[in-house]
């Protein structure tokens, strides 16, 4: 698939989602967080409304469907490819427009406002198994993204609950995301390896746009370095 074909392809795949059906068929449990009922949506759903089993996966946000307050056990990236989107996380309403994205850590309650058929919002799932030491070591350990992902592996040290990037419409992130989606939706030989490489380029590009992002107190950089080394040792020698 060529990038010029991508937008028409995504338009052809637009779908709504029946919240009542999801709650009835998949029976998500819920827990009380801060006095609010939060659904545990530990299954992502692809464009055909089937559960996603892959460690890294891409789907499209359904239109005309508000997603209730929920959380999950994977990192989620929401990228506005066209139009706008509203996310509410930790009581804060966040409006996103074309070219902007939000990374939400696992076990972080958030909800998503209904989009229209004119909006194209892309969801990317990064499950814990995907965040291997070899993947993390491919980009700067001093970056806020690497800290964010390392914290997602440590259930008692999640400090960055979400990150927002607003690099603007005219930036390389859109082109990189287009390349990732073309590989994902039109699989070919080595598509998985190409997607991995594009993700490193994407995250490295976003690091250049640190301004206007939301974060909490970062981890100690020495902790980051030693943890990646420790995880890599286990990966190579277990």
Percentage of the chain modeled with pLDDT above 70 = 73
Confidence of residue 116 (pLDDT cuts 50, 70, 90): very high
For residue 7, pLDDT beyond 90: yes
pLDDT digits (tens, 9 = 90+) for 36-56: 889 888 665 544 455 555 778
Average pLDDT for the chain: 79
**What distance in Å separates the CA atoms of residue 227 and residue 238, rounded to the nearest whole number?**
16
The highest-level CATH class for domain 3-237 is: mainly beta
For residue 144, pLDDT beyond 90: no
pLDDT digits (tens, 9 = 90+) for 185-236: 999 999 999 998 999 888 888 876 664 344 443 444 444 445 556 666 665 6
pLDDT digits (tens, 9 = 90+) for 62-84: 888 888 899 888 889 999 999 99
DSSP character string of 192-229: HHHHHHHHHHHHHHHHTT-TT----PPPPHHHHHHHHH
Structure confidence at residue 55 (pLDDT): 77
For residue 164, pLDDT beyond 60: yes
Q: Where are the beta strands (DSSP E) in 10-91?
A: 30-33, 36-40, 44-45, 51-52, 56-60, 67-71, 75-82, 84-89
Structure confidence at residue 198 (pLDDT): 92
With CA atoms as reference, report the closest residue to 104 among 43, 161, 153. 161
Average pLDDT, integer, range 123-142 = 75
Percentage of the chain modeled with pLDDT above 90 = 30
């Amino acid at each position: 698939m060529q990038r010029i074909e991508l937008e028409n392809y995504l338009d052809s795949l637009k779908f709504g989602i029946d919240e009542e059906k999801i709650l009835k068929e998949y029976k998500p449990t819920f827990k009380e967080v801060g006095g609010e009922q939060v659904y545990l949506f530990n299954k992502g759903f692809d464009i055909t409304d089937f559960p996603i089993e892959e460690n890294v996966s891409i789907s499209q946000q359904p239109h005309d469907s508000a997603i209730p307050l929920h959380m999950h056990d994977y990192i989620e990236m929401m990228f506005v490819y066209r139009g706008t989107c509203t996310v509410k996380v930790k009581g804060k309403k966040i409006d996103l427009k074309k070219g902007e994205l939000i990374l939400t850590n696992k076990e972080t309650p958030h909800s998503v406002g209904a989009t229209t058929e004119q909006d194209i919002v892309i969801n990317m799932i990064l499950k814990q198994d995907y965040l291997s030491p070899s993947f993390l070591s491919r980009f700067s350990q001093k970056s806020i993204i690497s800290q964010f992902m390392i914290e997602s592996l440590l259930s008692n040290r999640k400090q960055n609950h979400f990150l927002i990037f607003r690099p603007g419409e005219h930036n390389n992130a859109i082109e990189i995301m287009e390349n990732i989606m073309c590989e994902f939706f039109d699989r070919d030989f080595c598509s998985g390896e190409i997607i991995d490489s594009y993700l490193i380029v994407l995250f490295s590009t976003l690091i250049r746009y640190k301004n206007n992002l939301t974060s909490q107190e970062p981890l100690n950089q020495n902790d980051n370095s030693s943890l990646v080394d420790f995880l890599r040792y286990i990966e190579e020698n277990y």
